[in-house]
Amino acid sequence: MNCKICKAQAVVSLRSHNAAFCADCFRDFFSRQVQRGIRGHGAGELFSPQEKVLVALSGGKDSLALMLELKLLGYSVCGLFIDLAIPNSSREARAWVEKFCQKHGLELRVIDLAEEGLAIPLVKKRLKRPVCSVCGKIKRHYFNRAALDGGFAALATGHNLDDETARLLSNTLRWDKAYLLVQGPLLAAKKGFVRKVKPLWRLTEFETANYAFITGIEHHCAPCPYSQGASFSILKGLLQELERAMPGRKLDFYQAFLERGRKAFAPLDACDDEQLRPCAECGSPTSADQLCGVCRIRLALAKK
Amino acid sequence: MNCKICKAQAVVSLRSHNAAFCADCFRDFFSRQVQRGIRGHGAGELFSPQEKVLVALSGGKDSLALMLELKLLGYSVCGLFIDLAIPNSSREARAWVEKFCQKHGLELRVIDLAEEGLAIPLVKKRLKRPVCSVCGKIKRHYFNRAALDGGFAALATGHNLDDETARLLSNTLRWDKAYLLVQGPLLAAKKGFVRKVKPLWRLTEFETANYAFITGIEHHCAPCPYSQGASFSILKGLLQELERAMPGRKLDFYQAFLERGRKAFAPLDACDDEQLRPCAECGSPTSADQLCGVCRIRLALAKK
């Protein structure tokens, strides 16, 4: 098979785009998709070239691919790694992230949850709550804090089209209006919350994996030892089959949602953030009376 | 495995209901689900015991199972068969329907499309349009006319949960608001259109097949020779896999749509039937200036 653009030997075939590419033209394709992703879809641009963006780096291929591509496109980016202190995982992931940022001359900030009194193994041991959900809550809290404190216009994550469509399908199967309303590649800033963006929303996991391979990104591959398996793995499998039978359907599903679906849920959510107050400890917005969820977790861990 | 109710040897196992049943208790289960289906879901009762219902019979297991169960539940039902005049199919289906109605002492009306100048083989031969879509249009037209002319309160079809969730998934993947708005087991009557109901919406194809087997319903099994394969077969396969991984999810998806999803699309469709007029030929509501779609098809066939 030959490259659709330059007719050289192709190395990647994409049925959803009815195209095959050589390595160089695939990188161009990837860049174009990221740029189209940043231009957004109806909801406006994710961020402008003048804005500083904090990129959450897990050490996996998606977030590192995002970071590299944003840098190559000339955006002003800084990496953020949250060290969860999970044995046989966090140290390795951190090393990949540090090596990657060094290699590409990228600024990196690290938050060490052990120093914050929130090491995830401690959370897992001491709290009677599903560790993945608490860990997610803590990470989102520090993503937001780091972006606001650092004066960044937006926090970017490496969620790809497979992540996003699996989440969309999950929310749709439950017809969860509150979740459907806030799903999308752009979640605008509001009082106490930084803007959140997902510039890779047009690209599949297969495409970011190819990009990482072609650009020589070395990354962390092992799943989190605490995770019960890939999130949304059943739904991702179903969408994969749909895509195999009807190439392009995954992107159509997500784009049509952004164009037509999401706004149907909007009127129901007029002013639900009215009740948020700053946390008495850290200042983050919370619906609780005194302390936010994360500060309460920290307190609970310290007490035990 | 034993029957959940009477502890006899079970003949049907239903993971979605976490239950197994003997033949008699399965019939009771089926009846309860039809009754719950008729009570509707938020949108009100499909029809009352006092109302006369016209049941569209294709000769397949679903419509015959619906007809038998409605009769056994004491509803006032009459069958309607539309003879499409398709070779090696329509005559056989009609024979099964006539035999079934005779056996159970059920009233049956037959519309013969050949007599109406609309034999489907003629449509297929003469018109440059996908035959399945034209055939569906013609059938819906005569369903509606027969129900209105016969003074029936509602037209019932044998669509089951698999049909309904596949259609819902298809509409959702495209976020087709107009279709999402009118999907459900109850479509209220409006000027020129009879009420349309789907009392089997809570029952899967597996369940109606078991019901047909247990109650000794003999039915037409061959697919339509003009059909390109089962409609929505890919989506039905995906939902089947979802159900295997998460039993009960199919019914949850549909119920949550009726409870929460559908109303999100409602405000957008205030008064779109304002523009309908009666067809100059047959009086059916149409958005065309003179003749409705079916009368135009008949005219086109007669001219050629």
- Residue range A72-130, pLDDT digits in tens: 999 999 999 999 999 999 999 999 999 999 999 999 999 999 999 999 999 999 998 88
B273 pLDDT above the threshold of 80: no
pLDDT of residue B53: 98
* Among A30-39, A161-170, B103-112, B276-285, the least confident range: B276-285
- The DSSP bridge partners found for residue A82 are A111
**Burial state string for B252-282 with b = 16 or more CB within 10 A and e = fewer than 16:** ebbbbbbebbbbbbeeeeeeeeeebeebeee
Measured in angstroms, the CA of A230 and the nearest CA of chain B are apart by: 15
Measured in angstroms, the CA of A267 and the nearest CA of chain B are apart by: 9
Give the containing element (helix H, strand E) for B229: none
The mean pLDDT of A202-226, rounded to a whole number, is 94
> What is the rounded distance in angstroms from the CA atom of residue A86 to the CA atom of residue A121?
6
B113 pLDDT above the threshold of 60: yes
Q: How confident is the model at residue B117 (pLDDT cuts 50, 70, 90)?
A: very high
Size of interface A-B (CB pairs under 8 A): 63
Structure tokens at A135: 């860990």
pLDDT of residue B272: 54
Measured in angstroms, the CA of B181 and the nearest CA of chain A are apart by: 11
Q: Which of B169, B172, B244 to mutate to test the interface with A (most CBs of A within 10 A)?
A: B172
Sequence-separated (6 or more) residues with CB below 8 Å from residue B284: B141, B144, B145, B192, B278, B292, B294
Q: Are strands A52-56 and A76-83 parallel, antiparallel or unpaired?
A: parallel
Measured in angstroms, the CA of B185 and the nearest CA of chain A are apart by: 17
**Chain A hits for B246, Cβ within 8 Å:** 234
A257: nearest CB among B175, B246, B249: B175
Measured in angstroms, the CA of A164 and the nearest CA of chain B are apart by: 14
> What is the rounded distance in angstroms from the CA atom of residue B30 to the CA atom of residue B8?
18
pLDDT of residue A230: 63
Q: Tokens 């033949």 label which residue?
A: B23
A245: nearest CB among B234, B249, B265: B234
pLDDT of residue B279: 93
Q: List residues in chain B touching A: CB distance below 8 A.
A: 172-177, 234-235, 237-238, 241-242, 245-246, 249, 252-253, 256-257, 259-261, 264-265, 267-268
- Residue range B150-184, pLDDT digits in tens: 999 999 999 999 999 999 999 999 999 999 999 99
Angle at A298 between CA A293 and CA A300, to 5 degrees: 90
Task: Note whether A259 contacts B175, CB cutoff 8 Å.
Answer: yes
What are the backbone angles phi and psi of residue B187, rounded to the nearest 5°? -115, 110
**Chain A hits for B264, Cβ within 8 Å:** 177, 264-265, 268
Minimal Cα distance from A173: which residue of B? B253
Is the entire prediction scored with pTM above 0.80? yes
State ipTM.
0.86
- The DSSP bridge partners found for residue B187 are B196
Measured in angstroms, the CA of A131 and the nearest CA of chain B are apart by: 22
pLDDT of residue A229: 65
The mean pLDDT of B117-130, rounded to a whole number, is 92
The mean pLDDT of A243-253, rounded to a whole number, is 95
pLDDT of residue A303: 82
> What is the rounded distance in angstroms from the CA atom of residue B196 to the CA atom of residue B91?
26
Tell me the percentage of chain B whose pLDDT exceeds 70: 96
A260: nearest CB among B175, B253, B257: B175
pLDDT of residue B168: 97
Question: Is residue A147 classed exposed, middle or buried when 0-12, 13-18 and 19+ CB atoms within 10 A define those classes?
Answer: buried
B265: nearest CB among A237, A257, A264: A264
B96 pLDDT above the threshold of 90: yes
Structure tokens at B78: 């009459």
Structure tokens at B171: 């509409």
Average pLDDT of chain A to the nearest whole number? 93
Q: How confident is the model at residue A246 (pLDDT cuts 50, 70, 90)?
A: very high
pLDDT of residue B222: 84
pLDDT of residue A179: 92
A269 pLDDT above the threshold of 80: no
DSSP string, B53-71: EEEE--SSHHHHHHHHHHH
Q: How confident is the model at residue B42 (pLDDT cuts 50, 70, 90)?
A: confident
pLDDT of residue B230: 63
Q: What is the CA radius of gyration of chain A?
A: 20
B304 pLDDT above the threshold of 80: no
B264: nearest CB among A177, A242, A256: A177
